[in-house]
Amino acid sequence: MTPAGSLLVAHELRKAYGPTPALDGATFSVHPGEVVAVMGPSGSGKSTLLHCLAGIVGPDSGTVTYRGHELTGLPDAERSALRRTEFGFVFQFGRLVPELTCVENVALPLRLAGAKRRAAERTALEWLERLEVDTVAARRPGEVSGGQGQRVAVARALATAPRVLFADEPTGALDSLNGERVMELLTEAARSTNAAVVLVTHEARVAAYSDREVIVRDGKCGEREYAV
């Protein structure tokens, strides 16, 4: 049964790559403002679940519903538009554009959405300040530390005010101290905007920042109790 008030819901997702099943009846939901950690062993289907939820790949069967509308039947162009406007993404390696400065990287999705350069960069600077990396605004990604670069990536993901933030191993390339700070800032910023966070991780210390843990094993999702 789908929890009342869910923002994003997956029901009985199945996805196989050749003969290998990645998801085998996975069911998942997240509420606005909720941080859910998706955990499980390597190869369990965590990233495939995230990709299906975000509309990056389509399931072989099952449904994904966002704000009451089914995503699985939408044309590619409409799903791409959702990823630009409603969803934000943070990956293990920030995937910043090396030729752009940090402020230009954060402003990029706003510019792609039609914002004027000055307005986009003003918003970008606000987010860089919020993520405590405004001092590197004029530098390029190759000139900043890993921890700083990942905060820039978080700022970029949040600058468009997404309703859902997908974070796939966002601290996997960082040391523990930088990882802790990135998670503190990420969850604090997301909750302040009431964004839902789907956090894929294999680290218990990262999952500790979530409200709830979902364990993916053999392509199925098992719920843990809400954090106290």
**Going by DSSP bridges, is the β-strand pair 196-200/164-168 parallel, antiparallel, or unpaired?**
parallel
Using the Cα atoms of residue 66, residue 68, residue 71 and residue 76 in order, give the sign of their dihedral.
negative
Secondary structure tally for the chain: helices H, strands E: 7, 10
Residue 3 has a pLDDT of 62
Can you tell me which residue has the tokens 């799903």? 79
Residue 168 has a pLDDT of 92
- The answer to whether 158 and 109 have CB atoms below 8 angstroms apart is no
Domains, the chain:
1-83+196-223 (3.40.50.300)
pLDDT < 70 stretches in the chain: 1-4, 224-228
Residue 224 has a pLDDT of 65
**In this predicted model, what pLDDT tens digit does every residue of 33-80 receive, in sequence order?**
999 999 998 888 999 999 999 999 999 999 999 998 899 888 889 988
- The answer to whether 201 and 174 have CB atoms below 8 angstroms apart is no
Tell me the two tokens of residue 109. 């999705």
Residue 2 has a pLDDT of 53
Tell me the two tokens of residue 151. 């905060």
